[in-house]
């Protein structure tokens, strides 16, 4: 199976390109962005050496679905999805923070809690909590938005405002949108027998208007548990059955890699790569309730994208 790990397009009206960890963003001179979801995969802020077939398509299609299903809550940047791996939308100036919202104590928050930490991003945590326990109310634990190769840093609401990263007025809107989006995501997940455990949102501005940007409720930005069996597993202190990218992080940690200096990424065999693809397909089908249709696995993915985006640009004039 082929994967798309690098893009080098030159679309009509293109004036800039930004290669992120997973997405490549092309800016056009008409104020639009062409965001290409590649098959690159990152963990611990490191891009892993092999792509995951269909991952870009899966992320793009889940994000497009949830952008459509939450547009009544807040404006979002999406205008069209001319290709399975592509979303075209409104160009925004992104806020330099990611809004992470957690409904349960797990992942990096649990690792910090287990080590004795009782305050994350200015949010005080109750004593006596256990791994995967639900918080009384969802908490927001923002991070700075790091460049490639750098680590996102936890930051409090007070520090964000004091450093001028986001104004107090805008931050209040981001908080409001974050909680409302998480509530909607939780309801959608519950209808599919899943628990939305935590996720992150990115926002930006176009003029004076705040938009939800990038992806939403995908396995790269979110963690899901299966609702069936959650209570029993929690009572026994057993690991939850989950659908998220956490299994990739766990595989890396089991093989001695956490993105620290001097550590080497373990070998990504075909078996490992295909296993990751299978987990992404499982999440797609679980969260959307639809059968995944992998598009033309033997075709030249980049050629298909170029053709579809060119046709969209021409038709939208």
Task: Tell me the pLDDT tens digit for each residue of 222-244.
Answer: 999 999 999 999 999 999 988 77
How far is residue 4 from each of residues 167, 303, 304, measured CA to CA in Å?
Answer: 38, 11, 11
Confidence of residue 296 (pLDDT cuts 50, 70, 90): low
pLDDT at 80: 97
Contacts of 15 (CB under 8 A, 6+ apart): 27, 28, 29
For residue 39, the 8-state DSSP code is: S
In the predicted model, what is the mean pLDDT of residues 68-83? 97
**Separation of first and last alpha carbons in the chain:** 35
> What is the CATH T-level fold of the domain 94-247, as seen in this structure?
D-amino Acid Aminotransferase; Chain A, domain 1 (3.30.470)
Coil vs helix vs strand at 147: coil
Phi-psi region of 240 (alpha: psi -120 to 50; beta: other; left: phi over 0): beta
Asked if residue 45 has pLDDT above 90, the reply is: no
Confidence class of residue 146 from pLDDT cuts 50, 70 and 90?
low
| Segment of 69-83, 133-147, 286-300 carrying the highest mean pLDDT | 69-83
Total-model pTM: 0.89
Rg, the chain, Cα only: 19
Alpha helices in the chain (DSSP H): 55-69, 107-114, 157-162, 168-191, 230-236, 246-254, 270-288, 301-315
Find the DSSP H helices in 197-261: 230-236, 246-254
For 24, 137, 219, 274, 305, the CA distances from 185, given in Å and listed in that order, are 26, 15, 13, 28, 29
The per-residue pLDDT for range 126-142, each reduced to its tens digit, is 999 999 999 999 999 99
């Amino acid at each position: 199976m082929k994967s798309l790990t690098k893009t080098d397009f030159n679309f009509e009206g293109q004036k800039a390109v930004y290669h992120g960890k997973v997405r490549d963003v092309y800016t056009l001179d008409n104020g639009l962005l062409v965001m290409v979801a590649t098959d690159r995969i990152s963990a611990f802020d490191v891009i892993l050496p092999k792509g995951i077939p269909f991952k870009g398509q899966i992320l793009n299609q889940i994000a497009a679905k949830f952008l459509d299903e939450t547009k009544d809550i807040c404006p979002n940047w999406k205008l069209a999805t001319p290709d399975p791996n592509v979303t075209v939308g409104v160009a925004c100036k992104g806020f330099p923070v990611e809004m992470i919202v957690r409904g349960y104590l797990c992942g990096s928050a649990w690792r910090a809690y287990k080590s004795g930490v009782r305050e994350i991003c200015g949010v005080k945590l109750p004593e006596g909590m256990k791994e995967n326990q639900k918080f009384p109310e969802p908490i927001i634990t923002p991070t700075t938005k790091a460049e490639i190769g750098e680590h996102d840093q936890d930051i409090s609401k007070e520090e964000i405002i004091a450093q001028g990263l986001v104004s107090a007025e805008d931050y209040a809107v981001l908080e409001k949108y974050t909680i409302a989006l998480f509530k909607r995501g939780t309801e959608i997940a519950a209808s599919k027998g899943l628990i939305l455990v935590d996720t992150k949102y990115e926002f930006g501005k176009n003029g004076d208007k705040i938009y939800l940007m990038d992806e939403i409720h995908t396995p790269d930005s979110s963690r899901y548990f299966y609702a069936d069996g959650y209570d029993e597993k929690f009572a026994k202190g057993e690991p939850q059955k989950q659908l998220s990218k956490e299994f990739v992080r766990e595989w890396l940690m089991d093989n001695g890699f956490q993105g620290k200096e001097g550590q080497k990424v373990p070998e990504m065999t075909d078996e490992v790569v295909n296993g990751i693809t299978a987990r992404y397909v499982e999440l797609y089908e679980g969260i959307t309730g639809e059968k995944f249709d992998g598009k033309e696995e033997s075709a030249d993915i980049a050629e298909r994208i170029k053709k579809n985006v060119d046709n969209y640009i021409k038709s939208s004039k």
